[in-house]
Amino acid sequence: MFLKQRHINDSVLATWHPDESKRDFLYRIFEKLVRLKDGKGHAVILEMARSLAEMKHFPDLENREDSTEKISAARKAVTRLKSEIDKLNQQVRDDKEIQRLKKAAQEEQQKTINARQTLEKLGQKLNELISKQGTQEGGYAFEKWFYKFVTYSEIPARPSYKTDGRQVDGSLTLDGTTFLIETKFTNDKSGAPDIDIFMSRIETKADNTMGIFVSMAGFSDVAIKGASKNRTPMLLMDHSHIYDLILAEIISLPDVIRRIKRHASQTGQAYLAVRDFSG
């Protein structure tokens, strides 16, 4: 019955000779099992061992003259077997954990490779757009590029949209704060009028709304001064932040935004030059 429950075929059981002991018969079965392909036989033997290791009662050994000694020996044997099974189970768990960690490391490595390739492609695309800087076509293309740049950085973002008849170049949400986006792809630095217009848009929104002004040509001193004030809601980024920090894989976009925001909170200055990021 035990062997049948462990999927030993009747045809195999039928080979048990009347004058063959259980020990010899099992030895012969185990020899056949270990020779099976794909480890199927080993799995059957392991299933037998696990079942035996859970035995607590031995009815076949009761009511015998030496039942006390036999049951005691059986319990000791089961205890030893269970100890070995526990070791094997732990080894299996360890092997699975090793394989899981190995797979996770491989996936993380591949993710890093894919991310680097994507970042390189974004950099190449931006380089291709430089020839269109200062044109309306280039401005629209840079706006779309920056949205892809944000989504690549795994920041929840919204592409450009209109509100109250006004065009907004998009928005992103980081650490619970919503930032309106303004992009400029002009040849000239963004000036004070650009800052004033964007500031008025930000200030009409909810209290937790801020703005990120991205001007590839940079900002005039007057513009930076206009954006900077106590509790300023505006952060300023230019080509140096994109090229020298993010595309150079020194700091991620989320961390660049956080660093500028922290600087603005501490000093009221909306712009933080790349050379001052280490401070």
Asked which of 31, 66, 94 is the last residue of a domain, the reply is 94
pLDDT digits (tens, 9 = 90+) for 109-146: 777 677 778 899 999 999 999 999 999 999 999 999 99
Kindly state whether residue 127 falls inside one of the protein's structural domains.
no
pLDDT tens digits for range 196-243: 999 998 988 877 899 999 999 999 999 999 999 998 999 999 999 999
**pLDDT, averaged across the chain:** 90
Q: Is residue 100 part of a domain?
A: no
Question: Is 191 in the same domain as 80?
Answer: no
Same domain flag for 139 and 31: no
Please list, in sequence order, all residues whose beta carbon lies within 8 angstroms of the beta carbon of residue 209, skipping any fewer than 6 positions away: 177, 178, 179, 180, 202, 233
Q: Distance between terminal CA atoms of the chain?
A: 77
Instruction: Give the number of other Cβ atoms within 10 Å of residue 245's Cβ.
Output: 19
Q: Which domain holds residue 34?
A: 2-94
pLDDT in tens, 159-174: 887 766 677 788 999 9
The label of the residue with tokens 């932040």 reads 241
Instruction: For residue 123, tell me if it sits in a domain.
Output: no
Least confident of 60-64, 184-188, 196-200: 60-64
| 233 and 179 together in one domain | yes
Same domain, 272 and 145: yes
Q: Provide the domain count of the chain.
A: 2
Q: Are residues 183 and 83 in the same domain?
A: no
Given a contact cutoff of 8 angstroms between Cβ atoms, the answer to whether 43 and 71 are in contact is: no
Whole-model pTM over 0.85: no
Confidence of residue 4 (pLDDT cuts 50, 70, 90): confident
pLDDT surpassing 70 at residue 23: yes
Do the domain assignments include residue 109? Answer: no
